[in-house]
Amino acid sequence: MPPETTTAEAPAGAAGEVEEAPAPSNDAEGRQAAARNPQPRDAQDDDAAALRREAAQRRRQLRSTEEERDALRERLDRRDKADVERAAAQYLHDPADFWRAGIELDALRGDDGELDHDLIVAAVQRVTTAHPHYAKVRAARQADYAAGAVAPSADSPSFGERLKSAVFGD
């Protein structure tokens, strides 16, 4: 007679052990199989708790990623705004007037998301057309004082002649 070996086997349905049921062929058989071999309540609670913990961890990761994305977007916007103001400073007395005129930063970006110089120049032209007082005052030309005093031309009337004509109406 072969030697007997004894092993302690847990009865089916003991806490922590789950018997796997064969895959049901239809919904009714699935409900019957679940009724015959229900998953222990503790195991269901453990599974639900694990899923809740995982979902909470994913939500925290999502919030962290969104915060990082927002911070990077703000940095990019600040850099782009400075670039636009630098370009607008060539035409405007105060580059901040560009934003006061209601121009949005996103309107100055091309399809690829980068700043488009042509869009910036067009926007500056719109701003200076709508608000000419925002534009830089450019000197017509500088006088040449290196040659010293210059005699008035014969074609232009003198100050005295202009005064007489203004007073007497000649």
* Model pLDDT, residue 13: 47
CA–centroid distance for 148 within its chain: 59
Report d(CA 27, CA 34) in Å as an integer: 11
26 falls within a domain: no
110 falls within a domain: yes
Q: Is 81 exposed, middle or buried (0-12, 13-18, 19+ CB in 10 A)?
A: middle
Residue 4 has pLDDT above 70, yes or no: no
140 falls within a domain: no
Q: With bands split at pLDDT 50, 70 and 90, how would you rate the model's confidence at 140?
A: low
Domain count across the chain: 1
pTM of the model: 0.49
Give the range of the structural domain holding residue 73, as residue numbers without chain letter.
40-134
| Cα separations in angstroms, 37 against 27, 32, 33, 57, 159 | 15, 9, 6, 32, 116
3 falls within a domain: no
pLDDT, one tens digit per residue, over 6-50 is 444 444 444 444 444 555 456 666 566 555 655 566 777 888 999
Residue 120 has pLDDT above 70, yes or no: yes
Average pLDDT, the chain: 78
CB under 8 Å to 128, separation ≥6 — which residues? 91, 92, 134, 135
155 falls within a domain: no
* Model pLDDT, residue 30: 58
20 falls within a domain: no
In this prediction, residues 141-160 reach a mean pLDDT of: 67
154 falls within a domain: no
pLDDT, one tens digit per residue, over 63-91 is 999 999 999 999 999 999 999 999 998 88
